[in-house]
Amino acid sequence: MNKLLEKKNPAKHIKSFGFLALLLLLPVIFTAVDFTYGITISCFVAIYVIAVSGIDIVFGYCGQISMGHAAFYAVGAYGSALLSSKLNIPIIISMFIAPVIAAILGALLAYPASKLVFHFLSLATIAFGEITYQLILQSPGGITGNAVGLATKKVNLFGFAFNTSFRFYYLALAFVLLLLAAKTNLVSSRVGRAFVAIRENTHAAEGMGVNARKYKVIAFATSAFFTAVAGSMYAHFVGYISPDTFTNKQSVLFITMLLFGGTASKPGPIIGAIAVLLLNEALRSMENMQMLVYGFLLLIVILLLPGGIFGMIKDLFYKYTHRGGKENAKS
Amino acid sequence: MTMFMQVFVSGLVIGCVYGLIALGYSLIYKASGMMSFVQGDLLTVGAFLGYTFYGLWKIPVAISFVMVFILMVLLGFGIERGIINRLVKKKTLPIYIVLATIAVSYILQNGAMYIWGSNMLTFPRLFSANSIKIFGVGVQPEALFCIVVSLIAMVILHIFMKYTKYGTAMRAASMDPMAARSCGINVSVSTGLTWGIAAAMASLAGMLIGPVYGVFTTLGATIGRKGFSSAVMGGYGNMYGAIVGGIILGLMETFTSGYISSAYKDLFAYIILLLFLFVKPTGIFNERAIME
Amino acid sequence: MLKVNNVTLSFGGLVANNDISMEVPAGKIIGLIGPNGAGKTTFFNIVSGVYKPDKGTIVFNGTEIQGKRPYQINKLGIARTYQVINLFKKMTVIDNVVVGMHSRLNQGYFSALFKTKKAREEEKMAYEKALELLDFVGLKNRAYQLADSLSYGEQRILEICRGLASNPQLLLLDEPAAGMNATEKVELDQLMQKILKKDIGILIIEHDMKLMMGVADYLYVLNYGKLLAHGVTADIQANPEVIAAYLGGDE
């Protein structure tokens, strides 16, 4: 429903305030129950939420597939690590510059790729992902540390070092809130409507005055920015990056999370990231089963749960609230 | 001369394998307008099955090959019937079907790892001779076998598609499903069969490359991804283009790594893929445009 | 307002539109009729920028528009509907209309990202205007449903409403009555008269001759990609060539 015409709902404000309070207290709660590992997982959730929300913009809203987003994750991670270590740029700034570079790369890729239909767009993005991976594996002058990888510094803001999971959590939370707000603003605007129109019917969108190519490029660039921010967070949180993290498996993991959680929504990427990461933890003891499970997970979601978990919840909620009503509306 | 010959032969070997994989892509695209990401991992499964039958159970090589073919046709058929066709019927967006094939490829690859383990296995030699001489240069007989059998398989497929009743039915089904259905052709079985044949082609590639490269779980994944480069280069959907594209890619890769540097060998296929997609998406054989 | 001069387009060897000229003035309904496959929709696609003609010019308010992209032509003031319904199915009815306003809205990327005051005001204005438009076409009570859930006839009306949203001077309607029942056709007729009062010119393709003869001020008849005849409806109805084409065709 249209938010603009909705009356302000005080109950909603209280709910979101409570939610924020819970998020702020989460590390304290984890510490109190002596489960500090929960804070680390929460940090990873934050990182993935941002990356997957980025893919949601280009895939969920604009309908353009990318199977090479690990490349933008890599540009964010290596870009920020190298900018801060080689050029001595403060990390908090390099964490912004690297995603801008990723956005430019995304636009450069999307401009010629926007002509391609989905099948071939997926090939182009895979190729882009592989090329980026090979270039960090065998970089010119070994600047990325090649297979060995790079050690990265922690974020330090005005003398305060985000060097523990507890501290980093608050930085990550700030990033998540900021970027999700930006995403929400964007998708509910003229730009976001153009994205969805392109997804629903590119020809009609053009006929209604939407320059499809321009908006595909914008969606790709924005998406690349988000995923690269996540990459830079990863780099400065973990303290070490190597090519293994940036293979095409990472790209598929992002998409799995998105589909699992549900596309074209705010909660979808959050639910997807949490669910898949928790599953990951559950499967930690049998590591070589992990990818097998992802495969089945992805297949089951596509076959049986096309709206993801959030889509399913929405449907159930709809059925519940419209129970007995005459309206037999489509989902 | 010796080096040239060796590089040339190994280029042809991997080129034929790319060609077989790309051939599968083109078949599937022609038959159902789909893109399948399973081909590479079907190659892996084929290689493992061949290894099991021939290497472990010591079944004669010809029978082993036939058994693998039959299993793989069933597997390909099953993937199409059980998953792809279901999604098509539900009018799922095509991109989700592509993602479903990726899911299947994950299941195959990691299922193979679960069954056969993550170590590299040695596919036993097919021939007793260590090398045979061509133009005075020693070449591994398995390499020659790979090239010859691939080419024969391609010719047989060509004859099958062009001159047999089944081939005609399959081509008709892919060109105009409605018209084919009204002629009494079972379109869905024919589409399933196409996936089956593509799977058999992939497994053949796996058993041919196995003795040369060894058998491991990610054997097919890389080849499968690079195979896309061959298919696009030749013109996606064009069977002859797929073979030509495969051989060109194989030769280019081995010659660059043989004479220039092996550092960027793996980069090559993807740069070609991007270049063709952006500059000449219809490929060498000018297959119908793949753009919107 | 719209002046088409000698437009020709061929696909391969097939000439889909051959040397067509026509004029559409403001505030009038111009009909385009002809048997199936006569090239009517192709002609619409040329005017709206989907295809570029091989020859000929299309002048809209003094600007040559042939070869421009659809979104550019929409911005200049030509909106259209489609023969096959082309709504954004998973968007709400009102969102469909607001997408139609795309070229009339100004907020850019960054003002959207930061939801500036100006952007918020524009959004509010856009949704209010969209409601007005929906009210105008009689779909206001459907505003927050998915476009998908409307009846066939309502979807056709929504397409027109979405077209009107860009504030066009010329509206191209491609078989708007297809699939409509008798009541809906009467409503469509009334709606078109209301649109004319806004001084918008309408170029319409329609197979329903009764509707067409009733609403059109002037008719153009296409046959095999060529202009067969044009004139006021009474003249066209009496034209032996037109009658022959229709009887000979498979309509």
How near does any CA of chain C get to the CA of A59, in Å?
15
- Three-state secondary structure call for residue A17: helix
What is the value of ipTM here, to two decimals?
0.93
Q: Is position B128 within any domain?
A: no
In this complex, do B274 and A127 lie within 8 Å of one another by their Cβ atoms? yes
Residue A189's Cα: distance from chain center in Å? 20
CB-closest option in B96, B232, B273 to A302: B96
pLDDT at C198: 92
Q: What is the pLDDT of residues A264-310, one digit of tens each?
A: 999 999 999 999 999 988 888 777 788 888 899 889 989 988 888 89
pLDDT at B157: 87
Question: Per DSSP, what are the bridge partners of residue C156?
Answer: none
For A189, the closest chain C residue by CA position comes to C112
In this complex, do C144 and A1 lie within 8 Å of one another by their Cβ atoms? yes
pLDDT at A151: 93
Q: Which residues contact B7 (CB under 8 A, 6 or more apart)?
A: B254, B255, B258, B259
Taking CA atoms, B273 is separated from B42, B246, B281, B291, C53, in Å, by 22, 12, 9, 15, 33
Rounded Cα–Cα distance for residues A93 and A108 (Å): 23
Q: Is position B121 within any domain?
A: no
B58, two tokens:
């010591």
pLDDT at A215: 97
Q: Is position B266 within any domain?
A: yes
Per-residue pLDDT of chain C (251 residues; tens, 9 = 90+): 899 999 999 987 788 999 999 999 999 999 999 888 889 999 999 999 999 999 999 999 999 999 999 999 999 999 999 999 999 999 999 999 999 999 999 999 999 999 999 999 999 999 999 999 999 999 999 999 999 999 999 999 999 999 999 999 999 999 999 889 999 999 999 999 999 999 999 999 998 888 888 889 999 999 989 999 999 988 888 888 888 887 664 44
Least confident of A278-282, B111-115, B179-183, C110-114: B179-183
Q: Is position B5 within any domain?
A: no
In this complex, do B110 and A295 lie within 8 Å of one another by their Cβ atoms? yes
Q: Which 219-248 residues of chain C touch chain A by CB within 8 A?
A: none
Contacts of A194 in chain C (CB under 8 A): 99, 102
Among B35, B50, B49, B53, smallest CA distance to B105 is for B35
Q: Is position B281 within any domain?
A: yes
B72, two tokens:
């793989």
pLDDT at A126: 95
Q: Which residues contact B230 (CB under 8 A, 6 or more apart)?
A: B18, B19, B21, B22, B242, B245, B246, B248, B249
Mean pLDDT of all residues in chain A?
90
A43, two tokens:
């940090």
In this complex, do A208 and C95 lie within 8 Å of one another by their Cβ atoms? no
In this complex, do C95 and A193 lie within 8 Å of one another by their Cβ atoms? yes
Question: Per DSSP, what are the bridge partners of residue C18?
Answer: C226
In this complex, do B266 and A130 lie within 8 Å of one another by their Cβ atoms? yes
* A142 vs B: CB within 8 A: no
In this complex, do A207 and C74 lie within 8 Å of one another by their Cβ atoms? yes
Question: Per DSSP, what are the bridge partners of residue C226?
Answer: C18, C223
Overall average pLDDT of the B55-67 stretch: 93
Among B180, B202, B178, smallest CA distance to B104 is for B202
Q: Which residues of A sit within 8 Å Cβ distance of C?
A: 1-2, 4-5, 182, 185-186, 189-194, 196-197, 200-201, 203-212, 218, 329-330
Q: Is position B3 within any domain?
A: no
pTM of the model: 0.92
pLDDT at A5: 45
Burial class of B32 by CB neighbour count within 10 A (0 to 12, 13 to 18, 19+):
buried
Taking CA atoms, A315 is separated from A310, B190, C16, C95, C150, in Å, by 9, 37, 47, 21, 19
| Number of domains into which chain B is organized | 1
Chains A and C touch (3+ CB pairs under 8 A): yes
Q: Does the pLDDT of residue A157 top 90, yes or no?
A: no
Overall average pLDDT of the B232-237 stretch: 92
Query: What residue numbers bound the domain in which B281 lies?
Result: 11-116+134-291
DSSP β-ladder status, C170-174 and C78-80: parallel
Rounded Cα–Cα distance for residues B191 and C203 (Å): 44
Taking CA atoms, B206 is separated from A183, B150, B226, C134, in Å, by 46, 11, 15, 61
Question: Per DSSP, what are the bridge partners of residue C64?
Answer: C59
Q: Is position B151 within any domain?
A: yes
* B32 vs A: CB within 8 A: no
Q: Is position B122 within any domain?
A: no
In this complex, do A186 and C123 lie within 8 Å of one another by their Cβ atoms? no
Phi, psi dihedrals of residue C235, rounded to the nearest 5°: -65, -40
Rounded Cα–Cα distance for residues A77 and A75 (Å): 6
* A283 vs B: CB within 8 A: no
More confident residue, C6 or B140: C6
